[in-house]
A and B are shown apart, each in its own frame.
Chain A
Amino acid sequence: MSILQVSDVRLAFDGVVAVDGVSFEVGEGELFAVIGPNGAGKTSIFNVLSGVYRPQRGSVRFAGQDLVGMRPHRVAAAGMARTFQNIELFSHLTVVDNLMLGRHNHMRYGALSAFLWLGRARREELENRAAVERVIDFLELEQWRRLPVGLLPYGVQKRVELGRALAMEPRLLLLDEPVAGMNVEETEDMARFILDVREELSIPMIMVEHDMGLVMDLADRVMVMDFGRPIRTGTPAEVQQDPDVIRAYLGEQHRSVAP
């Protein structure tokens, strides 16, 4: 049973074709990676999935709903969470507040009950604060909870962003370069957390990443993109041996995209 079916998506900005003929499925609990050189259209696919861009052609079905044309906040409410390539946290808010924003759609009370602060608003805030605390615990963010995230080290900020996405209790998690710019230690930490998400929370994930070692170690399946088109989808082992993939990455002469 797949949670996401993308078929034959095409996205162009006037004359520039960003993505064309992209089709793939992501199964329950699967970690699906999208790789490709810069400008191959990986982030554009994320923006199509999350409703930021509307594709000219093709369909995106997510948990039984058609996502094309749906506004981004509805897509998020339907259970799709994402992290961004360059950290997009609310830098002046604390870690807790950033994660509470991820809980926005798990609370239902409106503006009037917020001012009255009677039973419901208060109960919902407390319940969701507890949920946030579980995420903080899961990602080992305890010591930074009360600090504005702008003050935290880069690797920790990336983790907070993952935490905000997890706080949404998503049905699908989009990770846009989760270890970009990290040192070896930070990369290993993040890899461990990604594995934890898969094993303990069994949330399916799509990951865009340039770190081939990480992709080949973690991903169940990999889709390789070049110039907006998918050139191969398969297991890490299959993809590494594919001549087209090697050509796209390294040019004609080389034999393998070894990690």
Chain B
Amino acid sequence: MDEFLQSLVRGLGTGSIYSLLALGFVIIYKSTQVISFAQPAFMLAGAVLVSYLSPAVSFFGAVLVAAALIAVLALGVERTVLRPMVGKPVFVVAIITIGVDVVVRVVTNAFIGLDVRQVGDPWGLTTMSFLGVEVQQRYLVMIGTTAVVTVALFAFFRYSRIGLAMRAVAHDQEVALAQGISVGSVFALSWALAGGLAALAGVFVATGAGVDQQLWIVALKALPAIILGGLESLGGAVAGGLAVGVVESLFGTYQGDFAPWLGPNFGLVAPYALMLLVLLVRPYGLFGKREVERL
């Protein structure tokens, strides 16, 4: 039982990282219909920035500043690189985001070098007792922070004029324009939000282990998460991220005992297997919109 609870908390912790990243993907997708592959780079850059800033302004100050700076960076990228591509096929724009990802990552790598950089978080690998079992503090922090961020985002989209404008743009740009909504500002803001979320995710990945050049690979786990949840759904992104984290963690713990014939480290593959399963049953994801197309 203890083992189960520990894996569950670990799964929800890493799952919250995937959720934050997946939220970024979905926010950009909803407003621009483009999947941005630049998220991994923003995540890495966020973590690296914190590793440089935290000695100066404390860990928490560094996280806030880094999230803000990465948000500004993402906004700048949207404004300069992607805005001129508005109206081009989304496939082309998606490829451009891969280019952005490579550039940002190469520049960031120069600041990492070959070492592992520490982000200076106060948790490290220390554990605490939670519901009677020993779990790593950092997982609880991740779960708590993600919960707060998610609630804030949902309230923003639900109640604020800008959130409402973003939902309107996702539905129909021309009609949104006729209400006086600047579609360009919505694009920029969605990139900024996604950038800030990615930076936060990056910091979480780096707690405990630190930042190295390979950290960005974690961001790819957001892809099965958004496919699971459905590209259009913010709630789906959160649920998908948590599901991927938990499945990965439970497989890591139990698969060796119960299904050793699947081979070692099957936990890493499990989220993708789950994604394929879901796609067979619900091709538009668990919370996605069913597309009806007439031919």
Give me the interface of A with B, judged by CB distance under 8 Å: 50, 52, 71-74, 76-77, 81-82, 84, 88-93, 97, 100-105, 107, 109-111, 114-115, 117, 121, 124-125, 128, 164, 168
Contact = CB atoms under 8 A, between A and B. Distances in A.
Contacts of A100: 161, 164
B177 A76 contact: yes
Contact of A164 (B164, B174, B179): B179
A114 B161 contact: yes
B171 A90 contact: yes
Contacts of A125: 159-161
B56 interface: no
B161 A104 contact: yes
10 contacts: A52-B174, A73-B179, A73-B183, A76-B178, A88-B172, A90-B172, A104-B165, A110-B162, A114-B162, A121-B160
A114 B157 CA distance: 10
Of A90, A117, A124, most buried by chain B (CB within 10 Å of CB) is A90
Contacts of A114: 156, 160-163
Nearest to A82: B178
A168 B164 contact: no
Contact of A168 (B156, B168, B179, B189): B179
A90 B175 contact: yes
B235 to A, nearest CB: 14
A82 B179 CA distance: 9
Given A111-B189, A114-B162, A88 B175 contact: yes
A152 to B, nearest CB: 16
Given A73-B181, A104-B180, A97 B189 contact: no
A71 to B, nearest CB: 8
Of B163, B178, B181, most buried by chain A (CB within 10 Å of CB) is B178
Contacts of A52: 174, 177
Nearest to B175: A88
B79 interface: no
Interface string B277-289: 0000000000000
A115 B167 contact: no
B182 interface: yes
B82 to A, nearest CB: 18
Contacts of B168: 90, 93, 101
Contacts of A121: 160
Interface in B114-147: none
B103 interface: no
A92 B171 contact: yes
B180 A73 contact: yes
Contacts of B152: 115
Interface string B50-80: 0000000000000000000000000000000
A14 to B, nearest CB: 18
B161 A107 contact: yes
B180 A90 contact: no
A92 B157 CA distance: 14
